[in-house]
Amino acid sequence: MAAYVKQLQETITKLLPKNEKELEWWVKFRKPEDILKKHSTYLYLELVIYILAFLTFFHAMKNGGRFRWLWFATVAHGLTVEALSYFVPDIDNFWHAQSMVMFLGQRLPLHIVVLYPVFIYTACVAVSHMNLRWWAEPFAVGLSVVLIDVPFDIMGVKLLWWTWHDDDPNIFDRHYWVPWTSYYFHATFASSFTFLFFGLRKLMCRPGLKYQSCGFFCELPILILTGLFAMPLGILQFVPVYHPLHDTLGIHSEVCVLLLLAVYALIVWSADRTPYESARLSSSNFGAIFLAVFLHYSFYVYLVFTAKPQAVRSVGRHQQIGKCNVPVKVLTPFGQVLKKSKNLCLENFNEDYFDFKCVKKVPAANTDWYTICGTPYENQAEYILVVCAFCAIGFFWFLHLLFFSGPQPRTERLPRKQHRD
């Protein structure tokens, strides 16, 4: 026992940061006034996401049962997705801007950790009012997360909240500079998360209401397994549609994504054609989730009218600057070997949402920490139309889920009536 304790102490000592540089790899802070001066919309985003995350957390704590486990499971899933995305070379293709609190070598902002409950928890709670069949609910959650994500993705790229790899084949096809596969990822990962979180309960716990907690020792393994394996299961959904069509047949990613979303929509529609009786009992659901949805869409409507992307100065990690035509391999699930550039080639890069016109000299070769400059809208009216349209569609969808579907699922069974003799 003493030897085991000693070994554990030695392991912990090795992992602990030994100097300021190592500590900064784990966590580093940035002054909010610096973000406000150079990248104001990013500071606004952080604050809005913290508010939305608090609303979802408040809803989970208030309602109890599995709602609490669902909230923390989304965080566990988010940590898995983000960490693997930074350290697996084949999917390391984006870089977040520097927020007030950064983790993991200044790659992971704190607000991104709680973004996952804002997206997935909100979608799960709203879809739960539909009372769909178990085989359709994950796809409804996937579609709902995409509707939450679209304005976030479009404005996020334009305002340099993150940047993408210049020519990675998996993200090369873009929609307002958003990779089409970003929407595919949100749909498949959210649906896989939902399938695991509720499916594992049926396999591992005693029978009960869908949102009724089975206790710590049953729910904790479900949380861990869902957090770890929702991402791999989501990646598997790329295999039957995206990779054969895009990588083998050369079909544009837009077609693959729209095909996937159409299949999702048909599955949800077919299940909703013969609903359970409780799926049509309209009830008032003005609360934390509705408020979160309203604030979310209102924020992007405000931004598209007022934000000035040409004023943005994003300082932080980006794709490494270097020599042109230095390819690295990208492996697909079918064994195909694709290629992407190792470096961002300053003489020939295709990212019109940023440039280097605001800096006195361009970054030196072999650097991945530098300043990029935002660019003006090519047509702001078009951005206003697209962003506002998606916000209106998303708000209409969630409004009907929350107010014109069934009641929120219970976390405990109703007590039986006592009969008097």
Mean pLDDT score, 72-76: 98
Does any domain span residue 17? no
Average pLDDT of the chain? 92
Compute the radius of gyration of the chain from its Cα atoms.
Answer: 23
pLDDT digits (tens, 9 = 90+) for 77-100: 999 999 999 999 889 999 999 999
Confidence of residue 416 (pLDDT cuts 50, 70, 90): low
105: domain range?
Answer: 32-309+388-403
Calpha distance 376→312 (Å, rounded):
10
Confidence of residue 268 (pLDDT cuts 50, 70, 90): very high
Q: What local confidence, expressed as pLDDT, does residue 4 receive?
A: 52
Contacts with 181 (C-beta within 8 Å, 6 or more apart), sequence order: 170, 171, 173, 242, 253, 257
- Bridge-based pairing of strands 27-29 and 313-317 is unpaired
Calpha distance 284→338 (Å, rounded):
52
Q: What local confidence, expressed as pLDDT, does residue 37 receive?
A: 96
pLDDT top residue among 12 and 60: 60
Q: What local confidence, expressed as pLDDT, does residue 12 receive?
A: 54
Does any domain span residue 234? yes
Q: What local confidence, expressed as pLDDT, does residue 223 receive?
A: 97
Mean pLDDT score, 262-272: 97
Mean pLDDT score, 400-416: 85
pLDDT digits (tens, 9 = 90+) for 180-214: 999 999 999 999 999 999 999 989 988 888 999 99
pLDDT top residue among 49 and 88: 49
Residue with tokens 């979160």: 292
What sign has the CA pseudo-torsion 145, 146, 150, 152?
A: positive
Domain count, the chain: 1
Q: What local confidence, expressed as pLDDT, does residue 275 receive?
A: 84
Contacts with 47 (C-beta within 8 Å, 6 or more apart), sequence order: none
Does any domain span residue 8? no
Does any domain span residue 26? no
> What is the Cα 18 distance to its own chain's centre?
33
Does any domain span residue 267? yes
Calpha distance 328→199 (Å, rounded):
39
What residues are paired with 94 via a beta bridge?
164
Q: What local confidence, expressed as pLDDT, does residue 19 receive?
A: 72
pLDDT digits (tens, 9 = 90+) for 1-39: 555 556 656 655 665 677 777 888 999 999 999 999 999
Does any domain span residue 68? yes
Q: How many CB atoms lie within 10 A of CB 87?
A: 12
What residues are paired with 252 via a beta bridge?
none
Asked whether residue 421 carries a pLDDT value surpassing 70, the answer given is no
Burial of 122 (0-12, 13-18, 19+ CB in 10 A): buried
Burial of 18 (0-12, 13-18, 19+ CB in 10 A): exposed
Joined tokens for residue 80: 């898995």
Does any domain span residue 358? no
Asked whether residue 414 carries a pLDDT value surpassing 80, the answer given is no
- Listed residue (99, 102, 118) closest to 35, CA to CA: 99
Q: What local confidence, expressed as pLDDT, does residue 284 receive?
A: 67
Confidence of residue 274 (pLDDT cuts 50, 70, 90): confident
Mean pLDDT score, 232-245: 94
Asked whether residue 136 carries a pLDDT value surpassing 50, the answer given is yes
Q: What local confidence, expressed as pLDDT, does residue 31 receive?
A: 96
Confidence of residue 279 (pLDDT cuts 50, 70, 90): confident
Contacts with 291 (C-beta within 8 Å, 6 or more apart), sequence order: 55
Asked whether residue 419 carries a pLDDT value surpassing 50, the answer given is no
Q: What local confidence, expressed as pLDDT, does residue 5 receive?
A: 52
Does any domain span residue 194? yes
Joined tokens for residue 305: 């009218």
